[in-house]
Amino acid sequence: MDENLKIEEIKTLREFKASIFDLFWEKFGTFYIHILPHPNLEIGKRGLVGNENESGIVLVFGPHAVKSISSQPEYLYAELQFGYTWEKLIVPWDCIFGIYDKNQNSVIKMKVFTENIDFSDYTEEQENKKHIKDSKVIQVDFGAKRHKDE
């Protein structure tokens, strides 16, 4: 995981990507998503083929290319058509690199995390302790009781 980003920032980025996806889904007829390889990426039986294992794949989302779709907090679930075959996809928000519309009037590039990030064992308290421990700033407890003679 990128040490410069806190857990909350990663969650916020996921929410941002989901919001952008929802906006494109509602407002654009056809749009494209460039996704990069990720351990939790699932593209049905097809998977990633050829150079897609390194450069990723561009998926087409539109009224005729999507059978079902569901936006989840950590991933996007969709059934997309590849040729004549429908494939079930699980696309983690972390691996979405870019979104652009059919006419390329708007292009959005975003930060990608290519490893699996699991928050279940990681709490905000642990994150704060880590930063305090790594910090060279002296921590002062202003809530400590004062002496009676002061």
- Greater confidence, 91 or 4? 91
**pLDDT at position 32:** 93
pLDDT at 98: 92
- In the chain, where are the structural domains located? 7-116
Q: How far is CA 108 from CA 99, 113, 119, in A?
A: 5, 16, 26
Q: Which of 5-9, 78-82, 125-129 has the lowest mean pLDDT?
A: 125-129
In this predicted structure, the answer to whether residue 22 has a pLDDT above a threshold of 60 is yes
How many beta carbons lie within 10 A of that of residue 26, not counting itself? 7
CATH superfamily for 7-116 is SspB-like (2.30.30.220)
Q: What is the mean pLDDT of the chain?
A: 79
Higher pLDDT, residue 134 or 34: 34
Query: H or E element: which one contains 19?
Result: helix 7-27
